[in-house]
Amino acid sequence: MAEKVVLAFSGGLDTSFCVPWLKEKGYDVVTVFVDTGATTPAEREAIRARALSLGAVEHVTEDASQAVWHDVVVPLVKGGQLWGDVYPLLVSDRYVIVERALALCDQHKTKLFAHGCTGMGNDQFRFDQSVRSLGDYTILAPIREIQKEHTSVRAYEAQYLEARGFSVPSKSGKYSINANVLGTTSSGSEVDEWLAPGDETYTVCAHPRAWPKTPLRVTIGFVRGAAVSLDGKKMAGPEILKALNAKLGAYGVGRGIYTGDTTIGLKGRIVFECPGLSGLITAHRALEESVLSAQQNAFKPLVAKKWVELVYKGFFYEPLKDDLEAYLDESQAFVTGDVTLETWGGQALPVEVKSEHILRKKGAVYAQSADWGAAEAEGFILLYGMSSTLSSRINQKPRTK
């Protein structure tokens, strides 16, 4: 009886190649498609049919959009930081995919897990390290194996499938596109060449020439730092993201270009689009800045930046990440309220913030009125700046241009 291997399957060129390749190595292949929030029922059915036609002995579809919301979106928004101050970790659904696939391994009593990652990017580390952190499994990586013998890997994969009578997925075209409830990334073609991205890279965000002529306002409700409602209507997290993707995406909010370092040292360049996530982070930051103390607002980004670093680099199951999330959760005790975003296109601004926890002092408004006197202000300035004043008078250096 052939040994079973569970393959994380997307239906694209790489994972399509993996099915017959693993079969020819003598394995029974169980494919699992983990839907992280960006596929229709028809697409899920097409992926199932594709897996079985390639020779999978069983195919499983998992709905994990809520898990991505809980495990990735909520702590990311609570932290409010981006990798390199630009990139919102849009491929972090990989960790949830691995967790669901390994659960299926356990059901089938197999320790063999396979993925379609290449040896050229960051996902291979995210997958492999997550597997090793979650248990004692054996990792099979067919694409890395064929890279040892073939330089034009994708051309070889297509030829391999066609030689066995299988069609080549149509998505293996101009761009490599990854989509989930967080957003969409596009790479390949002119993007890889550091040239201006083509119009086809606009997949979630509308092109500027298509933006509506009238402004849009949306109100997001938060409880302890997590979004719970949109325009006064309570909604599940993934539904909030989908609705914001549609509303803010029509105005081009959340589109960017990111250049980063891969695990093997090459530069990678992508176009990313995440209208909903961008809106959530903007709204949450406006509420949080109004509610937290000055010391909290100064310190919390340090914790959040480390959380982002761990998640980006593949250490999703590192114990330190749990420690950092405990701090982030505690910091959100009073981050409850409503924020209204307004956009005319391209960006969303937090135009209104409502909360019972805003740190306001009765009778005092910045730069307008205060309940202390001018003498108190002058005395504070004198004492607060004393060290710098003494340094300039006692140890003053010659000023140079």
**Quick check: 368 pLDDT over 70?**
no
Cα–Cα distance measured from residue 128 to residue 10, given in angstroms and rounded to the nearest whole number: 17
Confidence (pLDDT) at 369: 63
Confidence (pLDDT) at 365: 61
Cβ of 275: how many Cβ atoms within 10 Å? Answer: 27
pLDDT band at 224 (very low <50, low <70, confident <90, very high): very high
Tens digits of per-residue pLDDT, 110-158? 999 999 998 878 899 999 999 999 999 999 999 999 999 998 998 999 9
Could you give the angle at the alpha carbon of 115 between the alpha carbons of 45 and 23, nearest 5°? 75
Beta strands in 95-165 (DSSP E): 112-114, 138-140
**Quick check: 392 pLDDT over 70?**
yes
Confidence (pLDDT) at 25: 97
pLDDT band at 273 (very low <50, low <70, confident <90, very high): very high
Residues 211, 252 contacting (CB under 8 angstroms): yes
Closest CA to 308 of 296, 320, 293, 291: 320
Confidence (pLDDT) at 176: 84
Tens digits of per-residue pLDDT, 313-340? 999 999 999 999 999 999 999 999 999 9
Cα–Cα distance measured from residue 277 to residue 253, given in angstroms and rounded to the nearest whole number: 10
Confidence (pLDDT) at 231: 98
Confidence (pLDDT) at 323: 98
Tens digits of per-residue pLDDT, 67-91? 999 999 999 999 999 999 999 999 9
**Quick check: 181 pLDDT over 70?**
yes
Enter the CATH code of domain 4-81+91-173: 3.40.50.620
Residue labelled with tokens 């998640």: 311
Residues 264, 124 contacting (CB under 8 angstroms): no
For residue 227, the surrounding DSSP H or E stretch is strand 226-230
**Quick check: 372 pLDDT over 80?**
no
How far is the CA of 328 from the CAs of 239, 302, 362, in angstroms?
23, 11, 29
Write down the mean pLDDT value for the chain: 94
**Quick check: 366 pLDDT over 60?**
no
Dihedral pair phi/psi, residue 345, rounded to 5°: 130, 135
Tokens (6 digits) for 362: 């009765």
Taking the domains of the chain in order of start, what are their residue ranges? 4-81+91-173
